[in-house]
Amino acid sequence: MRIMGTSFLRAVAVGVGLAGLTGGASAAEILVGANIAASTTWTKNNTYNLQQQIYVLPGATLTIEEGVVIASDTNIGGSLAVTKGAKIMACGTKDEPIIWTSKADVATWAVDASHPTGKDPKTGNLREGCQEWGNLTIMGCAYIAENGVGGNVPTCDANNIGIMEGLTDAGLNEYGGGDDQDDSGVVKYCSFRYGGRVIALTNELNGLSLGGIGQETDIHHIEILNNVDDGIEVWGGCVCLRWISIWNIGDDSLDIDQGWRGVAQFGLIVQGFSCDADQGSGVGDNAIETDGAEDSDWQPVTTCSIYNFTVIGQPVDGDGLTAWRDNARVQYKNCIFMDCGEQVVRFDNIDGDGGSGYGHNGTLSWADTWTTAYNAVPAHANDCANPGDIYKAQTSGNLAQIVDSVFFRNQAASAYTEAVARDVFNPANNNVLIASILDADSPIMKLTRGAPVVKGGKTMVPVTCLDPRPKNEALTSVCWAPETEWLTSARYRGAFMKDLNWLCGWTATDAYGLSEDTTCNWSDLGGQTAGTNGNMTMTGLGPLTAGNPYTINVCNGLPSTLAFFIIGGGALGAPFKCGVLWPTLDFLTPLPLDANGEFTITLNWPVGIPAGIPLYWQCIQTDNGAPSGKKRLISNGLVGFSQ
C-alpha cells in the first residue's frame, strides 16, 4: 500500500477472514503461548498477551486488525518474531493504531469500559521504564553482508545469512538471501512502547528489528518509545521506511548494519533515556548510526538515502547525530540537525565488532567517500555482479553527503569539526547553519525541556513538549526528493510540512501530551504528481466546530498560477454541497497562487453539520513545466472531520 498515491475521494473496504485466535464476539485477553504455524487473525475485540518468544512460522501470515492492543506481562516479557517465509499484516490506522506495550503502560490509561482493555488507549503518562516486554522482529530473504557466520562469502551471495540479535532458537533466527523484492507484509500505524527485553549483555532486543527485509515490505507510521536498546535496527536488505518517530531510546535511535540499500523519509528522532543505566543500555547513544558491511570490504555495503528527518539531540551529554562506520555510504537531504551534545558528523570508522573501517582492502577512504559520485565507485574484487540492480537508493550526488539541511544550536566545541572537514558547508550544498541559539530562530515551532537529570552518569535534559512543524529556514528547501514509488517531493526541510503534525492521533507522544498538536482533525491525503516546484501541500487548521474559524493553506504550488478547489464528502446518502462550506463556491472556482506558490483562505465552520462528518478538499493545478513540454495535473488532497 502506498499512502501518497491515494486516489482522492476513494474509500476501500478490506474484508479480513477470521482464523485462529479470534476470541469470539465478546472482549477477552488471549494468552499467546505457542508459535503461529497457520494463518491467524488477531481481532480488536480482544487483547493479546505474549507469554514467551513467539514465532510466526514459514508459510503462515499473522493479520492484526486496526485498534488491537498487545499488552504483555512485565514479569514475562514476551516477544514476536516473523521468520523467513512468513508474513505479518499489522495494519493500524491513524484513528485506530496497533499498540505494542506492557500492562504497566496500560495501567496509566484512563478508564474506558467500552474498550477491550477497560482503558482508553489515547491517554496515559510517560514513565521512566523499558524492557517491560520484548519487541517485533521481522526476518526476510534480501541480500546482506555478514562475515560472522561460517560459510558466508564476501560477495553478493544468496546463500549468505545472518543470525538475528536477541533470538536464540536455532533455525528460526536466520535472515538473508538473494531476493531484494521479498515481501514480509505490512506494518503501519504501530506504536511500540517500553520494550527491549535483555537476553544477555550486548544481546538485547531493539524496538523493531528488520533483518534482510525486501523492498516490497511496507513499513510506515512507526513509533518507538522508551526502548532499552536501539529504536529501529536494520540489517541489510532494501526495505524503505517512512513516517517514523523514535523517542527516548537507550542506545542508537536508528541503527543501520550489513549493507542496507533503502531510502527513509519523514523521520523524527528525539534523543533521551529510557532508564537509569549506562549509555547504550538505557541512555541514548548516537541518533543515527550507520555501519557499511561486516567486514567493510564485503558486499553489499550500506548505500542509502535519508530525506526529511528532524534529529533532536541531547545538548549536554548526547552522542553524535550521525555516526559513520565500516564504509557506510549515506546521503542526508532536507534534514534538520539540532541540539547536538557531541559531533553532528561523527567519524567512528570501525564498529567495534571486528570491522576494519574505511579504506580497508582497497575500498574507498573516508575522505574519498565524500567526493566520489554515487555512480563512480572504483571496481573491487568483491563487487556484486549486477550493481545496478543492487544499488538503487542513490540517484544523484556523492556517496556520502549532507545537503539542503538546517543546523541549529549544536554548541559542543567539536560539533562541526568533521562536518567542516568534509566540506558540508560548501555553498553548493545549500546547507544553512543558524548562528543564533534563540528559540525564535529555531527551525521548528516549539521545543520545551525539563530540568536536567543524571542518568547512567550522563546529564540528560528531557524533552517535555514538542511541536516539530517547520518554521524559518525549514519552511522551504532549494532541492527536494524526486517523486518515486517510495519518495515524496517534499519541498521543505525536516520531517513535517507546514501546519500538519503527523504524530497526531496515533502515537504515545500525542497521548501522553509530549507532542503539541493543532491539527488532529485534518489528514493529508497526499499528492498525485509532483510539479516542477515539488509536491504541492495543503493543510487545514481549526477545530471544525460550529461558528469557529477554519483555515485552508496551500504551499509549494507553482508561483503566480491558478489553482482549483473541489470540495465534497459527507456521510453516505447525505453529501454536502460545496456552497455549505464555502458560500461563494459552486463547484470549481479558480484561485490565484501568489509569487511564492501559496494561498490561504479562512472561513467560519457552518452550523448544523453533525459531528464526525468527513469533508474532502482537493487542490489541482496545471504544471506547464512537465517533461517534454507536456502539461500535466498536480494535486493534493485533505480531509477534515466535523466535531
How does residue 541 score in pLDDT terms, banded at 50, 70 and 90? confident
Which of 625, 570, 575 is CA-nearest to residue 597? 625
> Backbone phi, then psi, for 510, in 5-degree steps?
-70, -45
> Do residue 469 and residue 538 come from a single domain?
no
CB atoms within 10 A of CB 103: 18
Residue 502 domain flag: no
Q: Which amino acid type is present at position 300?
A: P
Q: What Å distances lie between residue 511 and 69, 456, 481, 546, 587, CA to CA?
A: 15, 27, 31, 26, 38
CA distance 117 to 70: 10
Residue 108 domain flag: yes
> Do residue 539 and residue 397 come from a single domain?
no
Residue 8 domain flag: no
pLDDT at 56 over 90: yes
Grid cell locating 576: 454536502
Residue that finishes a domain, picked among 474, 504, 538: 474
CA distance 588 to 619: 10
> Do residue 469 and residue 555 come from a single domain?
no
CATH of the domain at 548: 2.60.40
Q: Which residue has the higher pLDDT, 286 or 576?
A: 286
Residue 67 domain flag: yes
pLDDT at 342: 96
pLDDT at 574 over 50: no
> Do residue 96 and residue 226 come from a single domain?
yes
Residue that finishes a domain, picked among 474, 507, 540: 474
> Do residue 462 and residue 596 come from a single domain?
no
In DSSP terms, 498 is beta-bridged to none
> b/e per residue, 629-639, with b = 16+ CB within 10 A?
eeeeebbbbbb
pLDDT at 82: 98
> Do residue 544 and residue 458 come from a single domain?
no
Structural element, H or E, at residue 579? helix 578-581
Q: What's the average model confidence in pLDDT over 591-601?
A: 88
> Do residue 457 and residue 580 come from a single domain?
no
Residue 177 domain flag: yes
Which of 346, 308, 307, 309 is CA-nearest to residue 328? 346
Judge contact between 248 and 276, C-beta under 8 A. Answer: no
Residue 624 domain flag: yes
Write down the mean pLDDT value for the chain.
Answer: 90
CB atoms within 10 A of CB 413: 8
Q: What's the average model confidence in pLDDT over 425-432?
A: 98
> Do residue 579 and residue 435 come from a single domain?
no
Q: Which residue has the higher pLDDT, 563 or 139?
A: 139
Structural element, H or E, at residue 105? helix 103-106
> Do residue 467 and residue 527 come from a single domain?
no
CA distance 408 to 315: 11
CA distance 66 to 188: 9
- Give the model confidence (pLDDT) of 299-327 as tens digits: 999 999 999 999 999 999 999 999 999 99
> Backbone phi, then psi, for 506, in 5-degree steps?
-130, -10
pLDDT at 518: 66
Judge contact between 466 and 516, C-beta under 8 A. Answer: yes
User: Worst-scoring range by mean pLDDT, 64-73, 403-412, 580-589?
Assistant: 580-589
- Give the model confidence (pLDDT) of 196-235 as tens digits: 987 665 667 999 999 999 999 999 999 999 999 999 999 9
> Do residue 82 and residue 167 come from a single domain?
yes
Residue 498 domain flag: no
Judge contact between 603 and 550, C-beta under 8 A. Answer: yes
> Do residue 469 and residue 532 come from a single domain?
no
pLDDT at 624 over 90: no
Helix, coil or strand: residue 176:
coil
pLDDT at 294: 92
Residue 427 domain flag: yes
How does residue 628 score in pLDDT terms, banded at 50, 70 and 90? low
pLDDT at 536: 87
pLDDT at 638 over 90: no
Q: Domain tally for the chain?
A: 2
Residue that finishes a domain, picked among 454, 474, 494: 474
Which of 230, 143, 132, 220 is CA-nearest to residue 179? 143
Q: What's the average model confidence in pLDDT over 489-516?
A: 94
Q: What Å distances lie between residue 7 and 60, 140, 178, 612, CA to CA?
A: 31, 30, 34, 21
CA distance 63 to 188: 12
The residue count of the chain comes to 643
Residue with cell 519487541: 135
Domain that holds residue 546: 521-641
pLDDT at 21 over 50: no
> Do residue 71 and residue 197 come from a single domain?
yes
